[in-house]
Chains A and B, each alone.
Chain A
Amino acid sequence: MSSVRTVEVSAIADTVARLCGEADLYLPEDVRRALTQAQADEPSPVGREVLERLLENADIAAEEKMPICQDCGLAIIFIDVGQDVHLTGGDLGEAINEGVRRGYQENYLRKSSCHPFSRVNTGDNTPAIIHTRIVPGDKVKLWVVPKGGGAENMSKVYLLTPAVGLAGVKKAIMDTVEAAGPNPCPPVILGVAVGGTFEQAAVAAKRTLLRKLDSVNPDPEAAVLEKELLEEVNKLGIGPAGLGGGTTCLKVFVELIPCHIASLPVVVNMQCHAARHKEAVL
């Protein structure tokens, strides 16, 4: 029998607080590299100017410790708990929320969580959206993904009929980007899940946004689809900030999942160019 490692939930709260701040103040390096490359490749002068401003904005944010974007997002937390870990010292969910509360308060981040009808703000950006997995090992891995409302609102769930096939899936994805136009702050990143069930596909699409923009998909079938979709999306002409150009999308992530013989779910989770995510291992 393997030994059990003890992790205090207060350490998880501290880590979540730190990651909330880092995620909202510092643009990830992979995103910065992608924006820099896009600026070199962009045919539109206005598009190049927008990309230059976005890079300048990231520099100012880091220098002045200002959020990259005023929409500091709802706090999406992915947590992988090793099955040889014993969490002690309190409630894991409450510890994560405590981390979010502190991280958003201490770093002057905007709190955007509100009641669906009264629209009264919860005041501390909780409750966090928490996706937990139990995995082999004795570590706890955490990802904080602040997700803005503008891009999230342009995301789509399709429950297609299998008859439409690959062409129908591609059409659904293109339709989503086309309908979104300038709204989700292009250049966007598309997190796509094809297959699974209604809820599985939605979470899987969001989980793809944890990947690095310069990573290679280990599934060769998905990798080909990612490349084809990126080329097609960038022919739409929407461009940086939607003002016209060749850079509508920085990266497409695709996850293929087995599904019911009756079903063909497709989820497109739209991410803005401020693709914030930070991770840590405890």
Chain B
Amino acid sequence: MSELIRLSPPLSEADVTSLKAGDKVLVSGTIYTGRDAAHKRIVETLAEGGTPPFPLEGAVIFYVGPSPPPPGRVIGAAGPTTSYRMDAYAPTLMEKGLRAMIGKGKRNDEVKQAMAKYKSVYLAAIGGAGALMARCIKEAEVIAYPELGPEAVRRLVVEDMPLFVVNDVHGGDLYQQGRQAYARR
């Protein structure tokens, strides 16, 4: 396991090309949230020739539907949701410049191929560690689709968000590698 790698969005092609499955990264800066319903709307907007709610070039998207902020907090618990539900939409966003996706769980082959083609990476946060993740989030603002509640698109400013590189642009897959290393049957 490598040393910690620091990433500050927006990310360049060079930023993500050097990453390898299994690397540990810390993300600091502006990222955007989106899950099922928001992805559907963003992809529909793009298909109609519209402008997405945030610039996709170099962007990092976090698959999360946070819980409401308690008094005095900018956000509630904010761990990753399961990513495969965004697989249908992810290649379209990568084609438009999306550089990294943060979530948990497996991606399909089409998404992995798009990551290699468009130079984008998939980063895993620890699922079910929502209270811990919230500590990394310094600002949160709903910027689109407020009627979706937890599924609204938010702009987040994060500091040292700890993540694992699961899928890199070279075909590496930490879920497969990690499992192979410890499988006993």
Cβ-neighbour of B130 out of A65, A70, A181, A239 (below 8 A)? A70
Known: A66-B76, A66-B134, A110-B68. A236 touches B179 (CB 8 A): yes
B106 touches A182 (CB 8 A): yes
Q: Which chain B positions have C-beta within 8 A of A61?
A: 77, 130-131
Q: Which chain A positions have C-beta within 8 A of B76?
A: 66-67, 70, 108, 110
A69 touches B128 (CB 8 A): yes
Q: Which chain B positions have C-beta within 8 A of A238?
A: 179
B183 touches A237 (CB 8 A): yes
Question: A109 near B: Cβ within 8 Å?
Answer: yes
Question: A103 near B: Cβ within 8 Å?
Answer: no
Q: Could you give, for residues 265-282 of chain A, a 1 whenever the CB lies within 8 Å of some chain B CB and a 0 otherwise? A: 000000011100000000
B128 touches A243 (CB 8 A): no
Q: Could you give, for residues 167-193 of chain A, a 1 whenever the CB lies within 8 Å of some chain B CB and a 0 otherwise? A: 000000000000001111100000000
B132 touches A121 (CB 8 A): no
B70 touches A244 (CB 8 A): no
A119 touches B37 (CB 8 A): yes
- Judged by DSSP, the binding face of A is loop
Closest Cβ of chain A to B72, distance in Å, is: 10
Question: B181 near A: Cβ within 8 Å?
Answer: yes
Q: A237 vs B176: C-alpha distance in the bound complex, in angstroms? A: 10
Closest Cβ of chain B to A197, distance in Å, is: 30
Segment 203-250 of A: residues with Cβ below 8 Å from B: 232, 235-239, 241-246
Question: A150 near B: Cβ within 8 Å?
Answer: yes
Interface size range on A against B: 35 or more
Question: A153 near B: Cβ within 8 Å?
Answer: yes
A110 touches B67 (CB 8 A): yes
Question: B177 near A: Cβ within 8 Å?
Answer: yes
A108 touches B68 (CB 8 A): yes
Closest Cβ of chain A to B3, distance in Å, is: 14
Closest chain B residue, CB of each to CB of A186? B127
Cβ-neighbour of A66 out of B70, B126, B177 (below 8 A)? B70
Q: Which chain A positions have C-beta within 8 A of B115?
A: none
A69 touches B164 (CB 8 A): no
Closest chain A residue, CB of each to CB of B127? A185
Number of interface residues of B (CB under 8 A): 46
A272 touches B128 (CB 8 A): yes
Q: Which chain B positions have C-beta within 8 A of A53?
A: 126, 129, 132
Cβ-neighbour of B1 out of A45, A153, A185, A232 (below 8 A)? A45
Q: A-B pairs with CB below 8 Å: how many? A: 175
Q: Which chain A positions have C-beta within 8 A of B65?
A: 70-71, 110, 112
Q: Which chain A positions have C-beta within 8 A of B130?
A: 57, 61, 66-71
Q: Could you give, for residues 84-128 of chain B, a 1 whenever the CB lies within 8 Å of some chain A CB and a 0 otherwise? A: 100000000000000000001110000000000000000010111
Q: Which chain A positions have C-beta within 8 A of B174?
A: 243-244
Closest Cβ of chain A to B177, distance in Å, is: 7
B149 touches A111 (CB 8 A): yes
Question: B168 near A: Cβ within 8 Å?
Answer: no
Q: A58 vs B129: C-alpha distance in the bound complex, in angstroms? A: 8
Q: Which chain B positions have C-beta within 8 A of A244?
A: 174-175, 177-182
B105 touches A150 (CB 8 A): yes
Question: B170 near A: Cβ within 8 Å?
Answer: no
Task: Given contacts A56-B129, A70-B65, list 11 more A-B pairs with CB under 8 A.
Answer: A44-B181, A57-B130, A57-B131, A111-B149, A121-B150, A182-B104, A182-B124, A184-B82, A185-B128, A236-B183, A243-B164
Chain A positions near chain B (C-beta within 8 angstroms) = 43-47, 50, 53-54, 56-58, 60-61, 64-72, 108-112, 119, 121, 123, 149-150, 153, 181-185, 232, 235-239, 241-246, 272-274
Instruction: Please list 30 pairs of residues, one from A and one from B, whose beta carbons are closer than 8 Å in the complex, sorted by A's number.
Output: A50-B126, A57-B126, A57-B130, A61-B77, A61-B131, A64-B73, A66-B130, A66-B131, A70-B78, A70-B79, A70-B130, A72-B67, A108-B67, A112-B150, A121-B149, A181-B105, A181-B179, A183-B84, A183-B105, A236-B179, A237-B184, A238-B179, A239-B179, A241-B104, A242-B105, A242-B124, A243-B174, A244-B178, A244-B179, A244-B181
Closest 8 CB pairs of A and B: A244-B178, A237-B183, A237-B182, A183-B105, A185-B127, A61-B131, A110-B67, A70-B77
